Structure 1
Amino acid sequence: MFEGLKETLDRFKDDVEEQAESVDAETEADTDVDTVEEKRDQDQKREDPAPPDRDPSEDPETVEEDDREVSVGFGKRAKAFATGGVIIQPEHLDEPLETLELSLLSSDVEMGVAEEILAGIRENLEGTVRAQVQSTDMVLESALKEALFDVISVGQFDFDQHVAETDKPLVMVFTGVNGVGKTTTIAKLARYFERHGYSAVLANGDTYRAGANEQLREHADALDKKFIAHEQGGDPTAVLYDAVEYARANDVDIVLGDTAGRLHTSNDLMAQLEKIDRVVDPDMTLFVDEAVAGQDAVQRASEFNDAAEIDGAILTKADADPQGGAAISIAHVTGKPILFLGVGQEYDDLERFDPEQITDRLLEGDVEDR
């Protein structure tokens, strides 16, 4: 995952480094010219006596403000050059940022998110003096890391701590469109919680889809978990209510409730979620979608959050997504965090979404085979 985004960011760093190198050369040339001109002026002063009556307007202290600004600006550039540094100017970023924006959009990054990243990069880089002990790559990496982290980490919270501190049973309801892997994700989370010392019951609130009971039951049997279901066509709220009651009576820590796949425009199904909220009052409602859906996943996450507020998102098939644009867009668009990435078919193939780790992958490490 993220190979496309990593390549995009690497190209951007190369573009800005190329601009910075040209700045170094220009500054060096300007400094050399200035040195020659200063020497020539000094020689001329030694040869020519000072005029008897000097016009006060020519006194250095009365030089026009614009001239001082030019002098100060050049002095800063010269100082940066003298210490081995370079100042990154707005014009040095314009073309690389324009190219980066197009590349981000082609990597499925939502437009508003791309603009936020670009604004953060520009704010972090403009006017930066790259010290002699730093490489331009170091400065760029720091600026990119901060801008990306600010976008990716929106809404993040300590999931494991939240689970530990919430009164039991903790109730999680899963929603999203059909066929994105909700049921398998529920099974993976049951295994995740088991590894962390929690018991779980699986409940099938998808009473509309033929075969839904059998699918989740198979996972429950494979994981040796209690399974709660009603007949097809029954009331999903009643199923989840029964699961909560079972958990309370049997000291089960967590209820994982599936719901029917739906579009945000499915009024009847959205009304079901509202009823579940009223009757069951889940601790968390999690949106599930495929990472490979790209911009569609981002749009759906936003629409579901508007229609029935979610608490976080899980992206499946992240291992099959070469771009990663959805993964860095959903949190910023919804204001709710991505909590997990599905990275394979096995029950253990579920990764916590760690913004700092993701940012490091994009900028420093090899993202392949992760």
Structure 2
Amino acid sequence: MFESLKKKFSRTSEKLEEEIIEEAEKENNLQEESGSRFSFFSFGRKKEEEVEEDDSNLLPEAGEEAEESAEESQEEVKEETEEKKSRFWSRSKDESDDEETEDEPEEEPDEELDDEPEDEAEEKKSRFWSRSKDESDDEPEDEAEEKKSHFWSRSKDKSDDEKSEKDGDEEDKEEKSHFWSRSKKESADGEATGGLFSFVTEKTISEKHVDDILFELEMELLQGDVAMEVATEVVENVKTNLVGKKIKRSSDITEHTYNALRDSVAEIIDIPGKSMTEMIEEKKAIGEPLVVMFVGINGTGKTTTIGKLANYYLKKGYTPVIAASDTFRAGAIEQVTYHADNVGVKIIKHQKGSDPAAVAYDAVEHAKAQGKELVLIDTAGRMQTNTNLMDEMKKIKRVSNPDLVIFVGDALTGNDATEQAKKFNEAIDIDGVILTKADADSKGGASLSIGYVIKKPIMFLGMGQGYDDIMEYDPEWMLNQLFSDVDEEELAAIGD
């Protein structure tokens, strides 16, 4: 979920880290450290764990033990270093001895050599070279050709390698640009070994470090169906939060970028508003039902969402009723009736082509008479540009007097859903949004933009095709989806 948007955030952090580390390398202001480097998405979780560990070490008794443990750890590291150094020189010496042995011809024991006459020594030497020549002559032509072929192949490979080194400036540049992450291997808890650097002299993040990187982020957000005003707001907030930050280690860059992006997105997606459940309780307290009218274009899943909400609140102990006010579309009444029967709620309907406002009115009166707490009004899907149908929708609103007007949009349509919500809001003043197919949304443009653009909260997210696959929108949950590793079990458990 939102994988594309998450990758954009992660790349922004990587590019900034790369920019500053390359600059420090040119200034000879860089040194590599041992230890593990946090990945972008596991950073927040790791920091929380560190804080918990630090709190546990605040006990008086634990202070001295921590110091002793640190001293012992330093001694162990020193001993390991000396041992590795000793093994290194030992291996080097062994390899040197082996090379000398390989270069020397096979010799007889010293005692036998001393006893041999010079003539016999010369004769053995002659036989040695003779055997070498005979072995060479006895080699099959195929083997000789194969060796020759290997020789030229090695020469060609070497030549190609030299050519590749000359012509591979772009590859070298790319490799250099990613030298900060020398180890790509990550452990199960999100840490990567290697690639941890510190600066000899403390550095400061400046505008020159972030301008190009944030421009790229803005372009990528726009390509990911994020609304223009939202992309601009994110970039400006991140720039404000990053410029001037002091950094001592490469991990500081990841920390500051992570926090800047997370804080910026948190401000955008957290639009204040009451939940539908709270509003039901308020209306129930005065003996009236909560009346909710649903609007949107054809094909967004509006009718199915009504069925999901009826099931959702039925399981919470409320009694919903559905109004089939889409009297124009062929099969619309049958479709909403099918959902109502499946979840077990009452449906109020008239004949096809009848007045949709009258159907909504009758459903509200039924709920009041029967003491039902929730009225869900289905309306005909219509394009926001169709003036006549929009006027009809205004009539339904005027007659039924709903407490909530909710726009249902398809998350997969991205910026189109945002523009549709904007037009509906201008026409009839909507109160909230439900996004369908959010579980299949990799870009996240609509989820990030729609509430901020129309200044109305997202109330529910459709997370699948079943009646239980709907959840109340939670900004904190949304942040966790964008800034932590996706928990597939959590997604699977939605609606349980």
2:55 equivalent in structure 1: none
Quote how far apart the aligned CAs of 1:308 are. Answer: 1.2
Matched, 1:236 2:359: no
1:186 equivalent in structure 2: 306
After TM superposition, the structure 1 stretch with the greater mean CA deviation from structure 2, 253-262 or 125-134, is 125-134
After TM superposition, the structure 1 stretch with the greater mean CA deviation from structure 2, 113-122 or 317-326, is 317-326
| Matched residue count | 320
User: 1:46-57 to 2 correspondence within 5 Å?
Assistant: none
1:117 equivalent among 212, 216, 234? 234
Quote how far apart the aligned CAs of 1:86 are. Answer: 3.4
1:312 equivalent in structure 2: 432
Matched, 1:150 2:235: no
3-state DSSP of counterpart to 1:202? strand
2:97 equivalent in structure 1: none
Distance in 1 (alpha carbons) for counterparts of 2:270 and 2:373: 28
2:18 equivalent in structure 1: 18
User: 1:139-218 to 2 correspondence within 5 Å?
Assistant: 139-167=256-284, 168-218=288-338
Letter of the structure 1 residue corresponding to residue 214 of structure 2: L
* Contact 1:209-1:260 within 8 A present in 2 as well: yes
Quote how far apart the aligned CAs of 1:233 are. Answer: 0.8
Show CA shifts across 1:89-114 (max 9, x none).
11111121111112111111111110
* Contact 1:302-1:333 within 8 A present in 2 as well: yes
Quote how far apart the aligned CAs of 1:367 are. Answer: 6.3
Distance in 1 (alpha carbons) for counterparts of 2:249 and 2:416: 45
Matched, 1:128 2:209: no
122 and 103 in structure 1: CA distance in 2 versus 1, 3 angstrom threshold: same
The higher relative CO (CA closer than 8 Å, separation ≥ 6) is in 1
TM-score (norm 1): 0.81
Matched, 1:259 2:379: yes
Matched, 1:361 2:478: no
Distance in 1 (alpha carbons) for counterparts of 2:213 and 2:317: 49
Distance in 1 (alpha carbons) for counterparts of 2:329 and 2:317: 32
Identity of aligned residues (%): 43
* Contact 2:290-2:403 within 8 A present in 1 as well: yes
Quote how far apart the aligned CAs of 1:279 are. Answer: 1.8
3-state DSSP of counterpart to 1:345? coil
27 and 142 in structure 1: CA distance in 2 versus 1, 3 angstrom threshold: farther
1:327 equivalent among 437, 440, 447? 447
1:2 equivalent in structure 2: 2
2:470 equivalent in structure 1: 350
162 and 123 in structure 1: CA distance in 2 versus 1, 3 angstrom threshold: farther
Quote how far apart the aligned CAs of 1:27 are. Answer: 6.7
Distance in 1 (alpha carbons) for counterparts of 2:487 and 2:207: 31
3-state DSSP of counterpart to 1:174? strand
Distance in 2 (alpha carbons) for counterparts of 1:183 and 1:135: 49
Q: CA RMSD in A?
A: 2.1
* Contact 1:175-1:258 within 8 A present in 2 as well: yes
Letter of the structure 2 residue corresponding to residue 4 of structure 1: S
Distance in 1 (alpha carbons) for counterparts of 2:282 and 2:206: 49
Distance in 1 (alpha carbons) for counterparts of 2:314 and 2:202: 54
Quote how far apart the aligned CAs of 1:25 are. Answer: 4.3
Distance in 1 (alpha carbons) for counterparts of 2:338 and 2:358: 21
3-state DSSP of counterpart to 1:20? helix
337 and 330 in structure 1: CA distance in 2 versus 1, 3 angstrom threshold: same
Distance in 2 (alpha carbons) for counterparts of 1:198 and 1:21: 59
3-state DSSP of counterpart to 1:166? helix
3-state DSSP of counterpart to 1:257? strand
Letter of the structure 1 residue corresponding to residue 204 of structure 2: I
* Contact 1:3-1:367 within 8 A present in 2 as well: no
Quote how far apart the aligned CAs of 1:118 are. Answer: 0.5
Show CA shifts across 1:52-104 (max 9, x none).
xxxxxxxxxxxxxxxxxxxxxxxxxxxx967x753211111112111111211
After TM superposition, the structure 1 stretch with the greater mean CA deviation from structure 2, 156-165 or 6-15, is 156-165
Structure 2 stretches of 5 or more lacking a match?
Answer: 31-197, 492-496
* Contact 2:29-2:199 within 8 A present in 1 as well: no
3-state DSSP of counterpart to 1:11? helix
Distance in 1 (alpha carbons) for counterparts of 2:29 and 2:289: 71
Distance in 1 (alpha carbons) for counterparts of 2:204 and 2:277: 44
* Contact 1:88-1:126 within 8 A present in 2 as well: yes
Quote how far apart the aligned CAs of 1:20 are. Answer: 3.0
